[in-house]
Amino acid sequence: HYKAYDGNTTDDTTHIQTWESIRKITGHSDFIYVADSKLCTRKQMKHITKEGGKLICVLPKTRKEIRLFKDWIQSHNPAWEELLRKPGYGESKGKFNVYWGIESPIASSEKDRIIWILSSERKEQDEHTRQRRMRKTIVELACLKEKTGKRRLKTEEQIRKAVTAVFKKHKSEAWFDWDLIVNEVELIKQEGRGRPGKNTEYIRVTKQIWTFEASLNDTKIQSDAAYDGIFPLITNISSKYLPMKSVLLKYKY
């Protein structure tokens, strides 16, 4: 099935038509429709389920079920069940990508089944990505700090914008604590203009010099690390008919 849509059409509105086209081609609705997270809207999933269809897709990152699981995993050790071992290739040659899974005890807001999958390869990638982003952030913040007090990095607002831009660039603000700092320096300044002479008077003035301090937030880093390698699959197929391993295989292959 192929159809070109208007450029303003988003992916999360096309799955009903795609599913209906497949049903028309196959002549039945008893096939498993596998898609990415764009399928996971209440309207689309409800339509497929109501019409007797079966589906598997990824739960979107914005869903509250993910936030609840991230909170839960901070104080719990899931009883992961090994589902699959896949030989690595390329740089991972000689290693296995191992997949584990657990059934969520709580259904989705649509009352569908959620399976949490842990991938050893993805876990390693998530950790490396976080380390790389933090490393680049630290380097850029150090360079930025050396420039404070000069040119366009003198005021509180200028420094705030510059620091925020670094965090935004590397998507790393969650892993850092930082504060703006003002130091007051007392200077002796000539009162009035002109060349100084024996009658020149001097005054003491206080100058504010802005800078910042940043440090890694180990608690937040460890909190995020607990979710490394994990992604949720959602399906309307009961575990009685399709066990976790089969759901994973259908999704992956």
Beta strands per DSSP E along 42-132 = 54-58, 81-87, 96-103, 113-119
Look over the chain and give the mean of its residue pLDDT values, rounded to a whole number.
Answer: 90
Least confident interval from 13-17, 74-78, 79-83, 188-192: 188-192
Least confident interval from 62-71, 131-140, 181-190: 181-190
Assess whether pLDDT exceeds 80 at residue 187.
no
Arithmetic mean of pLDDT, 68-91: 90
Assess whether pLDDT exceeds 80 at residue 192.
no
Least Cα distance to 50 among 33, 29, 35, 28 occurs for 29
DSSP state of 241: T
Q: What is the pLDDT of residue 14?
A: 85
Assess whether pLDDT exceeds 90 at residue 130.
yes
Domain ranges (residues) in the chain: 126-224
CB 120 within 8 A of CB 229: yes
CB-count exposure of residue 115 (10 Å: 0-12, 13-18, 19+): buried
Assess whether pLDDT exceeds 80 at residue 186.
no
Q: What is the pLDDT of residue 55?
A: 97
Return the higher-pLDDT residue of 18 and 105: 18
Q: ∠ CA 81-85-91 to the nearest 5 degrees?
A: 130
Q: What is the pTM of this model?
A: 0.82
71, two tokens: 């909170």
Assess whether pLDDT exceeds 80 at residue 70.
yes
Cα–Cα distance for residue pair 242/253, rounded to 1 Å: 15
Cα–Cα distance for residue pair 187/117, rounded to 1 Å: 62
Band of pLDDT at residue 20, cut at 50, 70 and 90 = very high
Most confident of 11-20, 52-61, 196-205: 52-61
Return the higher-pLDDT residue of 110 and 233: 233
Return the higher-pLDDT residue of 133 and 202: 133
Band of pLDDT at residue 10, cut at 50, 70 and 90 = low
Q: What is the pLDDT of residue 11?
A: 57
Q: What is the pLDDT of residue 166?
A: 98
Q: What is the pLDDT of residue 92?
A: 66
Least confident interval from 159-163, 202-206, 228-232, 244-248: 202-206
Least confident interval from 22-31, 106-115, 188-197, 203-212: 188-197
Q: What is the pLDDT of residue 205?
A: 75
* Sequence-distant (≥ 6) Cβ neighbours of residue 82 within 8 angstroms: 98, 99, 100
Arithmetic mean of pLDDT, 69-96: 88
Task: Give me the residue label for tokens 């880093």.
Answer: 221
Assess whether pLDDT exceeds 80 at residue 220.
yes
CB 104 within 8 A of CB 69: yes
